[in-house]
Amino acid sequence: MSYFAKVVDGIVTNVIVAEPDFMENDFVDTSPGTWLKTSINVRGGVYYDPITKSPHPNQSEIIAAEDGRQRKNFAWIGAKYSQEHDAFESQQIHPSWILDTSTFLYQPPTAMPTDGEDYYWDESTLSWIQVVDTDGSTPD
């Protein structure tokens, strides 16, 4: 089974699960829009193994099997689709985050610290805030 997204005027309006053969030979949809294959295992243009959730070791084989169409991210209803880049955008979580057109993922204006601590994005200050316990200490 595969996933297919209906795109109307650059916006995903529906996502269904179907066999590719059915979509090519038997599926009838006379309403405006285009059906495009999408993969639930792709994020930022990288295919992830559905079991290990790690980047799949055979990226080039998967891309070849998909006719080179990664479409960058799994389509979701309401997602934007760029016909120019043949890519679905990820969801913009915060208004300040910027679309990276190489991955079609939204990125924060400031990278999250990589010191091993836990952080959350504070949109009001446009900064990363370290997570603290209720007693004011950082979690173990």
Q: Are 31 and 21 in contact (CB under 8 A)?
A: no
Which pLDDT tens digit goes with each residue over 9-66? 999 999 999 998 999 999 999 999 999 999 888 899 888 888 888 888 877 777 666 6
Q: Give the pLDDT confidence score for residue 66 in this predicted structure.
A: 64
pLDDT value for 64: 65
Lowest-confidence region among 38-42, 82-86, 109-113 = 38-42
Residue by residue, DSSP assigns 102-131 as TTTEEE-SSPPP-SS--EEEETTTTEEEE-
- Please list the residues that pair with 82 across neighbouring strands: 87
Cα–Cα distances (Å) from 15 to 31, 38, 39, 60, in that order, read 15, 9, 11, 26
Cα(10)–Cα(12) distance, rounded to whole angstroms? Answer: 7
What token pair was written down for 105?
Answer: 């993922």
Tokens 């005027």 map to which residue?
A: 9
- Looking at 37-103, list the stretches that DSSP marks H as alpha helix, in order from N- to C-terminal side: 59-65
115 pLDDT exceeds 70? yes
- For residue 11, the tally of other CB atoms under 10 A from its CB is 13
Model pLDDT, residue 118: 96
**Strands 11-18 and 2-8: what pairing?**
antiparallel
Question: Is the predicted pLDDT of residue 140 greater than 70, yes or no?
Answer: no
What's the pLDDT at 65?
A: 66
- Average pLDDT along the chain: 90
Q: Left, alpha or beta for 78 (phi > 0: left; psi -120 to 50: alpha)?
A: left
Q: Residue 6: its pLDDT value, please? A: 97
Per DSSP, what are the bridge partners of residue 42?
Answer: 47
